Amino acid sequence: MSHQAINRRNFLQLGLSGVGLFAAGGLLRFQQAVAAGAEPAAFFSLANVGELLAADENGVKLPPGYKSRVVARSGEAPAGLPGYTWHSAPDGGATFATEDGGWVYVSNSEMRSFSGGVGAIRFDAQGVIVDAYQILKNTSINCAGGPTPWGTWLSCEEFPNGQVYECDPMGVKPSRVRPALGTFRHEAVAVDAVNQCLYLTEDLPDGAFYRFRPDRPLPDLGSGQLEIATVVERGRDSFIEWLPVPDPLAKNQPTRKQVPSYTVFRGGEGIAIYEGTTYFTTKHDNRVWAYNNSSQQLEVVYDIETSANPILKGVDNVVITASGDVLIAEDGDDMQIVVLTPDSRVTPLLQVVGHERSEITGPAFDPSYQRLYFSSQRGSLGKSSGGITYEISRSDLI
């Protein structure tokens, strides 16, 4: 096991611009929103984020011009609709467009002992909650995951024998386990459609960074090669070399232990892809990483030890705006979602107060980027049954 020194570069050099490929669900939904008549200028923008105001009636501190609403609470039916009671310990999430112009927000449940799974809230085109239901059940510690460009949700189990489940956000098709993606303490996953592979993080102090290459073109995840990252230095730059994991099912030995030369990533957390770059976080050293999917170069774009503005602590889930701002949710600390901008700023977007024993989870934009969803996993109660799921939007949004 080794941990290589990584070169640090100016975040501005990464060239973040244009439309995010997988920002809470993908380029396809962005295009659908534009085709439906949404103006790009009206999309959720961080260009003029100001100082956070005092907490509103929901306990959320926001910049001027934004508002919050609670869309779900653990143990209660969203919008009072009969059917699904919102799950405890809401975690990773994403949104998916519906044919009627609305969208679905899916949310993992990080409960143990086969009481986890995934819940979903359906919104109409005006943002009104019209349905809530479960799309995965009888699983354990469903932490994060990731959306696919073909419209499914990959839900990750975070325990040693954890699996990845592919789920239908609409609740029509049954969920399917994807064992080829490996047996380990899964955290999150992102799909690189251009290079026909998936990237996966592992939440352990000596965890690894993985790549999965399917045998057949995506969306087929039935079989393929799981690989593990080792970092090599070439001059002043760092690159990833991918080595095959002999036994992805980990029948006799944990996946990361099967390749002694793998590079340790200290507590892999959230992951997202934007314009050919994969961003992921590691919580035990409070870093945000950027991996170039084509050149395989790896860089650190935020390090709490070296940052000029080290306000981001407890790095966790990741989501990216349409213009390339990288949003990082905090696990604990002061319960903020912090923005890393293309011009190297590190600034808070929002903060939840009074939830000291909780963490922010599941940030995801709606298809038109006018609304941001996230949860306080344990709420102000500091326990799994106290989760609260929020929606943030501009104050002038009806």
- CB of 268 within 8 A of CB of 280? yes
**CA-only gyration radius of the chain, Å:** 19
Spacing of C-alpha 88 from chain mean position: 18
pLDDT tens profile 361-389:
999 999 999 999 999 999 999 999 999 99
Instruction: Tell me the percentage of the chain whose pLDDT exceeds 90.
Output: 82
Query: For residue 44, what pLDDT band results from cuts at 50, 70 and 90?
Result: low
Q: Which of 50-54, 55-59, 117-121 has the lowest mean pLDDT?
A: 50-54
**Domains along the sequence of the chain with CATH:** 11-394 (2.120.10.30)
Structure-block tokens of residue 224: 């393929």
pLDDT tens profile 109-168:
999 999 999 999 999 999 999 999 999 999 999 999 999 999 999 999 999 999 999 999
Structure-block tokens of residue 343: 């011009």
Return the pLDDT at 16. Answer: 25
Return the pLDDT at 48. Answer: 64
pLDDT at 19 over 90: no
